[in-house]
Amino acid sequence: MTGASQPISGKIKIFGRRGAPLGYMIRDFLHRSDIPFEWVELTSDEEARAKAGVSSLDDKRLPVCIFPEGTRLECPTIRQITEYLGWLHDPLRSEYDLAIYGAGPAGLSAAVYGASEGLATILIERYAVGGQAASSSRIENYLGFPDGISGADLAERAREQACKFGAEILLGREAVRGEFPPGKGVGYLADGTRITARATICATGVEYRRLDLPNGQRLRGAGIYIGAGASEAALCSASDDVFIVGGGNSAGQAAMHFSRVAHTVNMVVRGDSLSSTLSQYLVDRIMSAPNVKVMTNSQVTAVEGEEILERIRVTNVRGGESRVYPTHWLLVCIGGEPRTAWAEEVGIVRDEAGYVVTGPDLMQNHESPPGWELDRNPYYLETNMPGVFAAGDVRHGSIKRCASAVGEGAMAVAFVHRYLATG
Ligand SMILES: Cc1cc2nc3c(=O)[nH]c(=O)nc-3n(C[C@H](O)[C@H](O)[C@H](O)COP(=O)(O)OP(=O)(O)OC[C@H]3O[C@@H](n4cnc5c(N)ncnc54)[C@H](O)[C@@H]3O)c2cc1C
């Protein structure tokens, strides 16, 4: 069964130095993939020699990963780890009924429903399964999990379910281009692989926005974490002051998650309050957490540090006064934007922000979109290319919730059946 995990009987040990961006990438990938690991932080050349078998803390072979059965990978790329886990393979068929791009909640749901309903289904993901949801420490509003569930656990369960029904999953493969001649979709992956399918679902979600500041990119993974940093909370200590940029649910979840381990958590938000951007259950918890502080009308205007983030500047957006705070922790949870340049290249209609437009939103004065040649209107989740659907956060007007992404994935498959039956 492709996409199924190689059983890992124990923890993967990762040896590295603090603030190494690759160390963070590996932790993030394994956390999202729900694979147990242990991070061993090396603090001296002696430790580097004794524990990791390298010459010093500056040795280019760090980080070193040791797998439970003894395999050692030095300074591995995510692709090499994916390959080692047995997740990197080529498509098994020359043609599929359904190709789904993006293995977040929408894509995983489409894979479960597509495969379980007899469609030859392939799911292509550029990184790890779970999308944004896999970076959530605890999703508490998803139906059926009254105590909440970690996003990584939810994603792993969905992956298993999709594999059980026979969906093929290609991980670590990025789609870069598409062609959609009548009755067929051809997706081109970055490594040159070609995927042909009778119907296509685009479920590529959104990509987190970055903090556009000098040093921001250099310190990424070395104190600055884009997203909720769920893999990192275990490394945070009781003396650490954590700063989180953003006032949405992902920022709120991260604040509560880190508040259990950090000295203080400081939410830096542009607006006057949290209540317009955050679910009430999170507002209540944040307000009653003694070590969480909300800095309203504020933004981070500078980040500094040599090898690791050392300090940030927070500026009041109203008065202009600013203050410098020492910290090794800055989580950036300022939402995302869709990466859909490929859609524009093939003439798929997008809105101004790049979200893919579907169904009724394509209609103008009750007329089908220009170039539409079928004697029916586009189905609810269908783009202006017949047989090409969009589901989840990537879609114009979507709700940006796990449940709605999952619902749209299932619904898109129902329209795929109609399309395959009647065109
Ligand atoms: C930290 C955090 C916490 C959240 N908490 C909650 C919550 O508690 N409750 C809730 O309802 N919602 C929550 N959300 C929102 C929810 O996770 C999203 O609405 C949901 O994940 C959207 O699913 P999606 O499948 O549409 O897109 P995404 O989750 O964005 O997944 C898209 C996938 O497509 C992949 N991809 C993108 N481009 C390509 C390409 N070219 N080729 C191949 N693959 C590609 C990406 O790598 C990604 O895996 C949270 C979000 C975050 C970030």
pLDDT tens per residue across span 347-366: 999 999 999 999 999 999 99
Confidence of residue 3 (pLDDT cuts 50, 70, 90): very low
User: Does the CB atom of residue 249 touch ligand 1 within 6 A?
Assistant: yes
Pocket probe mutation, ligand 1, options 140, 176, 204, max atoms within 8 Å of Cβ: 204
Whether 94 shows a pLDDT value over 80: the answer reads yes
Query: If you average pLDDT over residues 122-148, what whole number do you get?
Result: 94
- pLDDT(1) > 50: no
The more confidently predicted of residues 274 and 263 is 263
In short, whether 203's Cβ falls inside 6 Å of ligand 1 is: yes
The structure tokens listed for 397 are 């007007």
pLDDT at 187 over 50: yes
pLDDT of 188 over the 80 cut: yes
Looking at residue 277, its pLDDT comes to 80
121 in contact with ligand 1, CB cutoff 6 A: no
Instruction: Provide the pLDDT for residue 274.
Output: 87
Give the distance (Å) from ligand 1 centre to CA of residue 106: 8
Measured from the Cα of 176, ligand 1's closest atom is 41
pLDDT at 243: 98
* Alpha carbon of 62 to ligand 1 centroid (Å): 30
Give the distance from CA 165 to its chain's centroid. Answer: 24
pLDDT (0 to 100) of residue 5: 53
* Residue 131 in contact with ligand 1 by CB distance below 6 A: yes
299 lines ligand 1 (CB under 6 A): no
Instruction: Please say if the pLDDT value at position 141 is more than 80.
Output: yes
Between 275 and 229, the higher pLDDT residue: 229
The pLDDT of 65-88, averaged and rounded, is: 93
Question: Separation of 134 CA from ligand 1 center, angstroms?
Answer: 8
Among 7-21, 58-72, 158-172, the least confident range: 7-21
- Read off the pLDDT band of 2 (50, 70, 90): very low
Residue 276's pLDDT band, with cuts at 50, 70 and 90, is: confident
Verify whether ligand 1 is closer than 6 Å to residue 174 (CB atom).
Answer: yes
Q: What is the mean pLDDT of the chain?
A: 94
pLDDT tens by residue, 387-406: 999 999 999 999 999 999 99
Residue nearest atom 41 of ligand 1, based on CA coordinates: 175
Distance 43 CA to ligand 1 centre (A): 35
Percentage of the chain exceeding pLDDT 70: 98
pLDDT digits (tens, 9 = 90+) for 365-385: 999 999 999 999 999 999 999
Look at residue 282 and tell me whether its pLDDT is greater than 60. yes
What confidence score (pLDDT) does residue 423 get? Answer: 78
CA of 202 to the centre of ligand 1 (A): 13
User: Ligand 1, residues 132, 142, 340: which to mutate, most atoms within 8 A of Cβ?
Assistant: 132
By DSSP bridging, strand 72-74 and strand 264-268 are unpaired
Neighbours of 159 (CB within 10 A): 27
pLDDT tops 60 at residue 6:
no
Q: State the pLDDT at residue 7.
A: 61
Closest C-alpha residue for ligand 1 atom 7: 139
Ligand 1 pocket, 393 CB below 6 A?
A: yes
pTM over 0.85: yes
**What is the mean pLDDT of the segment spanning 336-340?**
93
